[in-house]
């Protein structure tokens, strides 16, 4: 990439503050940037690094007096930076169009135009692969599955039988979709397996992170709604219904038959019990354990999770507990002294 600040501003529809003729040849964060690199400031907590940056130019949401480099003012620097990387950054090297000779393709498989099937891929009988889909090496797609157009499955993904992916679904390496749900019945002192005969349906524009696991339904459907983004190492149990445009951050675990509304955010290491309802636009903060349903737009925290403000108040109280205990101990000593004096007929001291 060799482009001027003015060129970047025109591409993004931004406004230049400073030398628009500065030449840019790379992209980097504020602290790593060198002269000639374009950087960005989106999160205010990183503003402390702006005065010392060596970047050739910086994307900002508003003009800043403490920026030593030319500025490009845009509405959303984070999104603008992503657009630039997509356009000018390094491009992925996908498998070649067609079917690699080492791939194993079952009977009655339909593969759309422009699809790329990598080395060692296994596709089961009766599966349908959409146009321009990309399947990286050593991925296994079970029989009777459906993949929409422009799906991207990276290496070592497992998609079990009859599961369905919509259009433009991205699945990162090692993810498992359609594994058996964790269902057992105790009979005669032994855990007997409950058959898991449902499927997983992943709707359009979902991304599923590395080593995430989404279990097939016991019967019916485990559903991931359109536009939802799932981070690495997330567990979604059988018959869970995840709404549209949700965010499930790393190491989230959702127990069976829980329902998430639309635009729900589950921060890192959140655990949800089964058969709950999490309302639209609700947020569960990191490391919370949720045992009760959460209303729409609710914000909960802690384990067991409770209203965010109440949880914070309790946490503040806990931090003050040693001082409170010491104060109570002093008061108990004073009361004991007063009782002793009164009992002996002496006058209490003020």
The structural domains of the chain, with segments of one domain joined by +, span: 3-88, 98-309, 320-350
**pLDDT for res 212:** 98
Looking at the DSSP assignment, which residues form a beta bridge with residue 236?
214, 254
Mean pLDDT of the chain: 95
Collapsing DSSP to helix, strand or coil, 308 comes out as: helix
Structure tokens given for 128: 């349908």
Q: Is the pLDDT of residue 283 over 90?
A: yes
pLDDT of residue 345: 64
The DSSP secondary-structure symbol of 45 reads G
Mean pLDDT of 215-241: 98
Q: CA 212, CA 187: separation in Å to the nearest integer?
A: 31
What does the pLDDT look like over 234-267, one tens digit per residue? 999 999 999 999 999 999 999 999 999 999 999 9
> Which CATH number is associated with domain 98-309?
2.160.10.10
The pLDDT value recorded for residue 184 is: 96
Tell me: pLDDT of 347 over 60.
no
- Assess whether 238 carries a catalytic annotation: yes
Distance CA 283, CA 266 (A): 6
How open is the CA angle 294-297-300, to the nearest 5 degrees?
50
In angstroms, what is the C-alpha Rg of the chain?
A: 28
The angle formed by the CA atoms of residues 79, 80 and 82, to the nearest 5 degrees, is 65
Token pair recorded at residue 6 = 């003015």
pTM over the 0.85 mark: yes
C-alpha–C-alpha distance, residues 157 and 153, integer Å: 7
Residues 259-280 have pLDDT tens digits of: 999 999 999 999 999 999 999 9
Interatomic CA distance for residues 49 and 55, integer angstroms: 11
Q: Residue 189 is inside which H or E element, if any?
A: none
Kindly state the helix (H) or strand (E) to which residue 281 belongs, with its residue range. none
Is 349's pLDDT higher than 80? no
Q: Which residues pair with 177 in a beta bridge?
A: 159, 214
- Which alpha helices (H) appear in the chain, and where do they start and end? 5-12, 77-88, 308-319, 321-343
**pLDDT (average), residues 47-65:** 96
CA distance 272 to 281: 16
Question: 116-154: per-residue pLDDT in tens?
Answer: 999 999 999 999 999 999 999 999 999 999 999 999 999
- C-alpha closest to that of 273 among 254, 259, 288: 254
Which one is catalytic: 238, 245, 275, 320?
Answer: 238
Q: How far, in Å, CA of 237 to CA of 256, rounded? A: 5
Q: What residues form DSSP beta bridges with 340?
A: none
pLDDT tens digits for 77-119? 999 999 998 888 888 899 999 999 999 999 999 999 999 999 9
CATH number (3.40.190.10, 3.40.710.10, 3.40.1390.10, 1.20.1560.10) of 3-88 reads 3.40.1390.10
Distance CA 164, CA 198 (A): 11
């Amino acid at each position: 990439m060799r482009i001027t600040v003015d060129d970047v501003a025109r591409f993004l529809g931004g406004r230049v503050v400073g030398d628009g003729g500065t030449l840019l040849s790379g992209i980097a964060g504020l602290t790593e940037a060198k002269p000639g690199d374009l950087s960005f400031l989106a999160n205010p907590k990183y503003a402390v690094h702006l005065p010392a940056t060596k970047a050739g130019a910086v994307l900002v949401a508003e003009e800043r007096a403490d920026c030593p480099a030319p500025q490009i003012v845009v509405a959303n620097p984070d999104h603008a930076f992503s657009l630039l990387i997509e356009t000018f950054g390094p491009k992925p090297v996908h498998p070649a169009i067609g079917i690699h000779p080492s791939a194993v393709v079952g009977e009655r498989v339909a593969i759309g135009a422009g699809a790329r099937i990598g080395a060692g891929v296994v596709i089961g009988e009766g599966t349908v692969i959409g146009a321009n889909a990309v399947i990286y090496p050593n991925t296994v797609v079970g029989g009777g599955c459906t993949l929409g157009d422009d799906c991207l499955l990276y290496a070592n993904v497992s998609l079990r039988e009859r599961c369905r992916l919509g259009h433009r679904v991205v699945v990162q390496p090692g993810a498992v979709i359609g594994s058996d749900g964790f269902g057992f019945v105790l009979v005669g002192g032994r855990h007997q397996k409950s058959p898991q005969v449902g499927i997983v349906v992943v709707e359009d524009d979902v991304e599923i992170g590395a080593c995430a696991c989404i279990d097939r339904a016991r019967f019916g459907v485990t559903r991931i709604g359109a536009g939802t983004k799932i981070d690495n190492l997330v567990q979604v149990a059988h018959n869970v219904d995840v709404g549209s445009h949700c965010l499930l951050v790393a190491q989230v675990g959702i127990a069976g038959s829980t329902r998430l509304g639309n635009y729900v955010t589950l921060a890192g290491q959140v655990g949800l019990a089964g058969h709950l309802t999490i309302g639209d636009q609700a947020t569960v903060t990191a490391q919370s354990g949720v045992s009760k349903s959460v209303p729409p737009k609710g914000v909960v925290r802690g384990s067991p999770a409770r209203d965010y403000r109440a949880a914070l108040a309790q946490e503040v109280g806990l931090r003050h507990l040693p001082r409170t205990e010491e104060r109570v101990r002093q008061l108990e000593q004073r009361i004991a002294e007063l009782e002793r004096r009164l009992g002996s007929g002496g006058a209490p001291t003020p």
